[in-house]
Structure formats: structure tokens, C-alpha cells
Chains A and B, each alone.
Chain A
Amino acid sequence: MPNEKTYYSLEAGQNLVCHKCGVHLIKGNAVFEYLDNAFPVELPVCPQCGFVYVPEELAMGRVLSVEKVLEDK
């Protein structure tokens, strides 16, 4: 995951709206953290409340595999 800041891109036509704030999510700076390791990433974020969206493919794909690697460290 390091050096891979944009492994999720907001696809055109995929309009994500923060349900609470009623504004569109934007590409924002986020960070994943696990077992004292941090990975800066770009993810869809609500510009008002800061809600970070982790889509299913990302969670069950890349995130899971990085978790597994760290768990064996």
C-alpha cells in the first residue's frame, strides 16, 4: 500500500453523496492505520463531516491483503 496513494479512483458517474450532510464526496487525503503502521491514501471523503468511504472491493481486496501481511510481521 505504501507509494500507492491513488489506488481508488472516483469513477465518473458514480455520484457519492454524504447522507448526513447532503454534499458530494470528494477525493480526499485519508490514512489507513493498523498495528502501528500508517498508509496515506486518497479516498472519497465528505468535505463537511470527514466521513471516509471504503468501498467493498477495496476492503476485501487490497486492505485485507495488507492486513494479512502486517499480521505476520
Chain B
Amino acid sequence: MTDHFKERSTRDYHQKQLFSKEDLERRESLCTHEDPPFCNAACPLKLDVKAMLAAVSDGDFAKGRSLMEFISPFPEILAWGCDAPCRKVCRRSEIEESVNIPAIERAIMQHSMVPKAKGLLKLRKKQRLAVFGSSLFTLALAADMAAKKYPVTLYTEAEDEMDLMRRCADLPDEILQRQLPLLRKADLKICYSTIVDRAFLENEEKNYDLVCGAEYLKTDEVDPVTLCDDGNRVFPHAEKKYSPILQSFFDARRAAVSLERIIQRIDPHKSRPQEGETESHLFTNLTYIPSEEAVIENGVYSREEAIREATRCIQCECVECFRGCAYLRAFKRYPRLLTREIYNNTGIIMGDHMMNKALNSCSLCGQCTVTCPNGYDMADICRAARENMVDTRKMSLAVHEFALLDMLFSNNEGYLARKQPGHETCRYVYFPGCQANGIAPDTVYETYRDLMNRKEGGVALMLGCCSVIAKWAGRRELYEEQISFLKEEMHKLGDPIIIAGCPTCRSTLREHFPEVIGLWDVLEEIGLPAGHETLTNEVMIHDACSARNDAATQDAIRRIVSSLGGTVKEGTWSKERTACCGYGGLVSYVNREIASQMSEECVKEDPDATYVTYCMACRDRLKRQGTDAVHFSELVYGISADDSPGLSQKRKNRKQLKEKLLKEDWKEETMEEKPAFTYELSEEVRQKMEDRMILESDLLETIQAYRDTQMAVYNEADETLTTQHRIGNVSFWVRFQEEENHYKILSVYSHRMTVRTR
């Protein structure tokens, strides 16, 4: 048998691909967080509308202007002449009138200044360009190429600047006037009053590396993507999809890209940036968006009006999975990025695995798969990554060892399987689950009594762990071993129907056993026992994440709560949208901080409410966090809940429950091995042990070892002794004072490193 607890070597290299390239891409593509907002996708010039509106709503008109200047050399002309395809798809339009994007653009132009020319001039490129024509297309193309630092000469029939502007755009002189500074800044050589005829062209062409714009030269249809004819000259697009002004700017942009390719002797079809409108699969949740009346444009918006209208922008963004998941919020990465980083993490051979903490902090709860409009399954990715890290021996034992040993304790010292006394065969076996046994042994005891009395056909008992802990830890081999063990044990009991007391056990065991029902199902069938508690108040239900897709269980619990007299107040984050309490996926062992945030997340809708749970681990974690939480079986059997037991107490509880049942029902006495000494622990030391995950049994073993070997250090200053003992992969140290057979424990600590003299 494999030794599952042998420490690995960091010098041992194994490699295994987590996902194939296609599989990775398929998974990642489900997260559309990076898709552009709809306005941006619809804009052929790819204006970052969202950023522009955010800037304006912050009163930063200069930033708004620079975003517009980025997409057009004459943004004000665009603002006046754009037919705004962005508006038609703006998500606000599904609530009321869409954001008036072009009106805000006009206001930006009105309320901001043309920035001064940048000090640092890029070196001019050497290829010379001639552009012929007097249209907005040729002007914009010339300006775009000049902006790319090519020396450009524009030949126009226009007599002067204003004449040129008038020929380019059918807009009031007042607006055109304002474009003149930009025209002068554009670094263009403009030859006015030029009669551009064939003779002139043929004469001038030889002086330039490239000429463009003159219709005379057109030899063929232009390509709809590159706007080139077969002589590599660029022309406006024949098909007019947008308003003339938008179309001209768009054509000029695409033509400029082609020209640059041609100059660089690259096929103009190749490696072009994304051009024109694109499709976006971004998800914008409109549920939480309040209605906001549109600001009427009367002339041009004042600054304040523009700001008000800009704040109507929803700032489209998909954060659906973030809303309910404390883990994703804490790691500040949406699933697509997180997946990529986790994937890369598994590929690292030597060096730091920076994402170990991340892949081990997901509760594997499956909530994101429900909240994401595309069903992103982060849990599956994190589980696969853990398995991969285990398989390649890159997962440290330290991460999950405590939990795994706890599982083995439940299936060894804490384990019990017996048929109901007086029954040759049992139709059922009650499987309360390791958490119930450790947290609420009295409730388990009562439940089993009741099942023996009232459920016909004989009910056997199995105290143990369903092995999900090994699965969560990514230890497949260990998991299989434990499942085989449970299978053999179930077989000895006559393969009865399993009555699971815990929804996680139920879903885990269901994968390996033909029939697994819930305790709640049985209670519904046989009715509530006498002596149950009566609820008088309104309660909320914290659904178990392992029952997320199990509507029948969710409903059964609600009916039981109603039969107990309680009124259920449904929250938004219940049933299939429920959050994990922080126990799932072993987060509470790996990342206590996030586990606490997860517990808080579960009760965020009403922290003061009473929460009925049906998983004992949920009950434990919520209560620990200060929530008024109760497990439904505690209500059913009228057993007032204990406070949350610590790690050592949970183990003791399991053992005591086993011994009590053995004694009372099967008349078997357990030989109790009492230590030959007594000891005392202050609350402070107890807490320290809890924080350091040191069990009382480790402490006792260490003291016993000291008694056997006398190995210790005596500190003359404070008259204390400190001893060390290694158990498994951990060295335990205990500082104490000894009085005959009594030990006053002053401190307990541990480390995993070994130490020796050299």
C-alpha cells in the first residue's frame, strides 16, 4: 500500500499537463468578463465609451477628449456627424432611454481644450506620401498617416483651410472654425488650389513612395477589408453602412492600416487589429440598476448636464460570480484569468508555485457554475489542479495533512459499524457523517435511538467519514482506498440502504452506492418524534453547497422547518445559489481568513437572523462566527446545541460517542487507556494549540515520551522543562513544569522540519 504521508522531495520532478490546449481554451472561453462593453463593440472606431463616460462622470473632460482623439484626428467633427451605433446597443436602453453618448462627446469637445502639441517628437519616417483629394476620407487619412510620423503632403482643390473644412463636412462654420488649430497641428503639408488631373498626378507620382486618394488611379474594385485596389492604392469603401462622417473616419482608419502594411511590405490582409463592429458576449446584470432619467440635450450639454448623463452609464461589466463568492473577491481575479494562472502554476517545475494558495482556497462549492451566465466551473478546475499537483508530487503534505489524518481517525479510532441489536439483517444503515459525530454526538445518539425505534426493517449504524476529505485534497488514491474500505464494510452489513445524516456524505456516497437517502427523507416519512422543539420565529435556511442541485432535499428541509412551526424567510442567496460555509474544499484548514469571509457571506443578507442548516459543518462554522445557527436535527430532537468544539474535542466526541453506543446498545466495554499522569492546560494554551492545529493527543504522547526518555531542556532562569517528540511528519515541543505525576503545560509548539547535530 502507498504511504500517503511520506514527505516529498522538492528535487523530484514530475510533469503532467493539467488540460490540453483545447480543453483549457474551451474552459476559459466560458468566461466573457474580458469581452468589450456593447457600446465599444458596436463602435467601428472602437472608442472606449465606458472609460470615456467614467471620466466624464468624474468631471475629467480632458481624459474624455484624449480617448476621442485616440480614435479620430477630428473628434469634434465625429461627435457632430456620428450616427452613434453604440447608442442602439447600449444596455441602458433595456431599462429606459440609452445613454446619449454622442451628446456627451459634443460636450467633451465644448468643455475641454485642444491639448498643446507633445514636446517629444518622434523621428519622422522616411517614406513620403502624397494624398490627393478634398474629402473627409482623404483629410482623415492624411492626418492619420501624419500621426504615424510619415511625411505627408495633401493636395487639394480647396482654396484655403476653411474651404477645405467645408468640403469635408457639412457642419456649421462655427464648428469647422474650431477644427483649424487641429488641422495646423496635424503636421501636414497642404497644397491648396491644386488642379488634380491625370497629367498632374503622373508628374507628381514619381516624387513619392506612395500616392493615394485619387479616383483616376483606381484600377479595380477595392477590397472590403483593406480598402486597397489591386495596385495597392487605398480608396473609400463603396458600401456605406454608417453616416457619411463616421464612414469616412472608419474608412480612413482602415486605409491607414493598409498603407502602413504596404510600406512595410507586409500583406495588408495580415495581422490587422480588430476593426469595425464586433460581437460581445459580455453579461450585464440589469437587476440591480436603478432607473435614471435621461438628460435632454438643449444645444450642447453644460458640464453638469454631461456629467449627469454620463453617470447613467452602467459601466457594463460581468461580476456575477464575484457577487456571492468571497474567494474570487479575495483573489481579485475573475475565473478566466484565475484559470490561466492556476494552469501555469501546475506547469512550473522548479520555482515558486505562487498560485498554490489560490487553488487550495476554493471551497469547490459550485456556486459560480450557477451564478455565471455561462456556467463557469471553477470548482472542477481547482479540484483538477489539486489532483495534478498531488500526482506530480508538487502538492505539499503540510497543506491537507491535518484534515486527512482527521479523516483516517474517523475511519479508525472513531469508526464503528454494527447491525441494530437483535436484527440479523438491516434494511438500512444510518451514516451521520464525521462532522456530526464530532460536533453534535448527543444529537447523533438521539437520532440513532429514534431510527432504531421507529424505522422498520432494522437500522444499522456506521460512524465514519465518507472520504470526501481525500477527494477535496486531490488525493485520488487515498480516496479510492477509503471508498473500497467503506464498500467492504457496507457489504458486511448486508449492503443496506444508506441513510445519510449529511448532504455532503449523501452526494459523495451516491457516486459509489446504489441507494443513499437523507435523514430528512426518513423523518418526513416517519414523522417528527415527540419532544421536538417548536419554532415560533421566522428563520432563514442556509442550504448546504453539496445540496445545491438537489431541490428535493431543499424542499424537504423547508417542509420539516414548517412542521416545527417555523416560517421560512427565503433569501436571494439560498437554494442553488447558496454559498459555502467555508468548510467545503478544506478551505478552513488552508486559508482561515477566506473561510471566515465565506461564513460571513452565508449570512450577509441578515446577520441577525436564525439560520437553520442541514449540514453539521455549516452549523458549526456559522455558529463559530457568531451567527444564531442550528442544525435541523437539533430542533427535531430537542437537543440544545453545544458550543463549537475545538479540534481535539471533535475527536474526543467521536470516540466517546462510539464508546457510549457500544456500551449501551451492543454491551461492549471499551478498555480505556488512561494516561498514568495528570495535566493542566490554561485556556490560553488551549487556544494556542487550536491555532497551531496541535491536538491534545499529540501533547499527551509528547509528555509520555518525555516520561520514557527524560529527554528535555531545563531552563534555570524560569525553572521550566521543554521536551520534543516527533509524531509522523511533525516535531512537537512542550514546555511544562513537572510535579510528581502532574504536568502544568505552559506552551506547545511544533514544526515540520527535522533537526539534528552535524
Contact call A44/B11, Cβ cutoff below 8 A: no
Would A30 and B754 be within 8 Å (CB), given that A16-B714, A17-B714 are in contact?
Answer: no
Instruction: Please tell me if B351 contacts chain A, counting CB pairs below 8 Å.
Output: yes
User: Which residues of chain B from 703 to 747 have any CB-CB distance to chain A below 8 Å in the complex?
Assistant: 709-717, 721-722, 724, 731, 733, 735, 747
Which of the residues A29, A35, A72 comes within 8 Å of B354, measured between beta carbons?
A: A72
In the complex the two chains form, what is the Cα distance from A35 to B11 in whole Å? 8
Q: How far is the CA of A25 from the CA of B717 in the complex (A)?
A: 14
Which residues of chain B come closer than 8 Å to A28, judged between CB atoms?
757
Contact A67 B753 (CB under 8 A): yes
Partner of A67, one of B716, B717, B722, B751: B751
Are A54 and B751 also in contact (CB < 8 A) when A15-B715, A35-B10 are? yes
Chain A proximity of B352: nearest CB distance (Å): 5
The contact of B753 among A20, A29, A33, A51, by CB within 8 Å, is A33
Instruction: Report the bound CA distance from A29 to B692 in whole Å.
Output: 28
| Chain A 31-52 near chain B by CB (<8 Å), digits 1 or 0 | 1111111001001110001111
Chain A residues, CB < 8 A from B716: 15-17
Interface contact B398-A67, CB-CB below 8 Å: yes
User: Is B8 among interface residues, defined by CB-CB distance under 8 A?
Assistant: yes
Partner of B711, one of A16, A44, A49, A63: A49
Which applies to chain A's interface (DSSP): helix, strand, loop or mixed?
mixed
Q: Is the CB of A34 within 8 A of B714?
A: no
Q: Which residues of A contact B11 (CB under 8 A)?
A: 36
A43 to B724, CA, bound (A): 15
Interface residues of B (CB under 8 A from A): 7-12, 350-354, 356, 396, 398-399, 692, 709-717, 721-722, 724, 731, 733, 735, 747, 749-758
Q: Which residues of B contact A31 (CB under 8 A)?
A: 755-758
Most buried by A among B7, B717, B724, B755: B755
A-B contact pairs, 12 of them (CB 8 A): A18-B713, A18-B714, A19-B721, A28-B757, A30-B757, A32-B753, A34-B753, A35-B8, A66-B753, A67-B752, A71-B396, A71-B399
> Is A7 part of the binding interface, using a Cβ–Cβ cutoff of 8 Å?
no
Taking a contact as CB atoms under 8 Å apart, the answer to whether A20 and B710 are in contact is: yes
B10 x A73 contact (CB < 8 A): yes
Please tell me which one of the listed residues B398, B722, B757 contacts residue A29 in the complex, with CB atoms under 8 A apart: B757
Q: Hey, which chain A residues are within 8 Å of B10, CB to CB?
A: 35-37, 70, 73
- CB pair A29–B758 under 8 Å, yes or no, is yes
Chain B positions within 8 Å of A14 at CB level: 715, 717
Contact B711 A40 (CB under 8 A): no
List 4 extra interface pairs beyond A18-B713, A59-B733, A66-B753, CB under 8 A. Answer: A19-B712, A32-B753, A54-B733, A56-B749
- What distance in Å separates the Cβ of B602 from its nearest Cβ neighbour in chain A? 29
Known: A35-B8, A49-B711, A52-B756. A15 touches B722 (CB 8 A): no
Query: Is B752 touching A52 in the complex (CB atoms < 8 A)?
Result: no
- Chain A residues, CB < 8 A from B713: 16-19, 25, 44, 51, 53
Given A53-B722, A59-B749, are A19 and B755 also a contact pair (CB < 8 Å)?
A: no
Alpha-carbon distance A28/B12, docked complex (angstroms):
31
Query: Which of A16, A19, A30 gathers most chain B CB within 10 Å?
Result: A19
- A66 and B692 alpha carbons, distance in the complex (Å): 16
Known contacts A30-B757, A36-B11, A54-B724; A13 and B749 CB within 8 A of each other:
no
Interface contact A56-B752, CB-CB below 8 Å? no
- Nearest chain B residue, comparing its CB with the CB of A41: B755
Number of interface residues of A (CB under 8 A): 41
Asked if A73 contacts B352 (CB within 8 A), the reply is yes
Contacts of A33 in B (CB 8 A): 753-756
Of A19, A40, A63, the contact of B714 (CB 8 Å cutoff): A19
CA distance in complex: A19, B711 (Å):
6
Q: Which residue of chain B has its CB nearest to the CB of A25?
A: B713
A53: B residues at CB distance < 8 A: 713, 722
Q: How far is the CB of B756 from chain A (nearest CB, A)?
A: 6
Report how far A34 CA is from B398 CA in the complex, Å: 11
**Set of chain B residues within 8 Å of A71, measured between Cβ atoms:** 356, 396, 398-399
Chain A residue with Cβ nearest B354: A72
What residues on B are CB-neighbors of A50 within 8 Å?
756-757
Please name all residues of chain B whose beta carbon is closer than 8 Å to the beta carbon of A37 when the two chains form the complex: 10
Min Cβ gap A67→B in Å is: 5
The answer to whether B710 and A63 touch across the interface, beta carbons within 8 angstroms, is: no
- Residue of A at shortest CB range from B355? A72
Residues of B within 8 A of A35 (CB): 7-10, 396
Instruction: List the 4 closest pairs (A to B, CB-CB), nearest first.
Output: A36-B9, A71-B396, A15-B716, A19-B712
Q: What residues of B have a CB within 8 angstroms of the CB of A66 in the complex?
A: 753
Chain B residue with minimal CB distance to A38? B758
B28 to chain A, nearest CB (A): 24
Q: CB-nearest residue of chain A relative to B353?
A: A72
Which of B7, B353, B750 is in CB contact (< 8 Å) with A59? B750
Alpha-carbon separation in the docked complex, A13 to B717 (Å)? 7
Smallest CB separation, A41 vs chain B (Å): 8
Q: A19-B711, A29-B758, A35-B7 are in contact. Are A73 and B353 (CB under 8 A)?
A: yes
Inter-chain contacts of B352 with A (CB < 8 A): 69, 72-73
Docked complex Cα distance between A72 and B359 (Å): 12
- A72 contacts which chain B residues (CB < 8 A)? 352-354, 356, 396
